[in-house]
Chain A
Amino acid sequence: MNSQSRDEVQGAVYRVVHCLGARESFEEALRHVEARKQGSFRRGMVQQIQRLADGHPMTRENFPKEGKLPNNANGEGSGHFHALKRIPIRGYCWRSERFENTWFVSHYVFKNYQKLKAKDTDRLGKNWTRIEVDGDER
């Protein structure tokens, strides 16, 4: 990965932002993929994010709700986060309430298991709190 890659894209409808460390987590997840398939997986994730940014309909199949977001300050649920699925890679993301028309990608995992891990919910929750509650940019 080139360190000069950008952290966000502005599509026709949405801005999609990589949280701090998201790019690195993608490279880490990609390392578990067979070398000859890595190019295809990288292109595949680009395509998913471009489609999301351009506001085209995403499917439950490849963009499922994966888990619950933390409660807001009033103790109310903030909805769910989604997974950009490119089996076996997942990118966990949520639509921001603080930043208009913006999706944040928390991190990526190489997911060769079925159930969502608590550590991934936790990592996303920390990013969500940092951005949605504390107002960080990414």
Chain B
Amino acid sequence: MSAKDMFYGAGHEFSRAEARAYAREDLIYNVTEDVLFQMEQMSVTKQELARRLGKSRSYVTQLLSGARNMTLGSLADICFALDIEPQVRFHCSGDEEVVEGVVGTPVWTANESEMLNKDIQVLGTNVLDRRDPGHWERVA
């Protein structure tokens, strides 16, 4: 059950266009609300954020009200100005497990032949460091 049931009849089916509009507005609302909450926690006003961004207050107001389309670039700029790090998570409808990172990317698997190269160091679980340690020993 969701809040939709309070404003639409039980069994009301969204058309594809309406479902898409809902999904778009839902993301915009929740992202802007999260940003606004961070600003309130930090006591950063829209005026101050505008100053940090080098933009007008109305630009910030429009972005945070959803009236102006927020690009990933402008969201990144806002997060940088607030010194906060955004995290993006995707998951398929109905899935319990949340996938972090880029959706649709094939699962990374190690290449066996690469792993046999003695100069490769494995850092963590999925980072390969191809630097030649001997090179750095020579120049040190």
Q: Is the interface of B mostly helix, strand, loop or mixed?
A: helix
Mask, A70-105, CB within 8 Å of B = 1, is 000000000000000000000000000000000000
Task: Please name the residue on chain B nearest to A62 by beta carbon.
Answer: B33
B29 touches A5 (CB 8 A): no
Task: Please name the residue on chain A nearest to B64 by beta carbon.
Answer: A61
B29 touches A48 (CB 8 A): yes
A40 touches B25 (CB 8 A): yes
Chain A interfacial residues counted at CB < 8 A: 35
- Contact among A3, A46, A50 for B9, CB-based, below 8 A: A3
A43 touches B9 (CB 8 A): no
- Take A9-B1, A43-B22 as given contacts and tell me if A49 and B6 are in contact as well, using a CB distance cutoff of 8 Å: yes
- A interface residues (Cβ-Cβ under 8 A, vs B): 1-11, 16, 18, 23, 26, 39-40, 42-51, 53, 56-62
User: What are 27 A-B pairs at a CB distance below 8 A?
Assistant: A4-B10, A5-B5, A5-B6, A5-B7, A5-B9, A6-B5, A6-B6, A16-B3, A23-B7, A39-B18, A43-B26, A44-B25, A46-B2, A46-B4, A46-B6, A46-B7, A47-B3, A47-B25, A48-B29, A49-B6, A50-B4, A56-B30, A56-B33, A58-B33, A59-B36, A60-B40, A62-B33
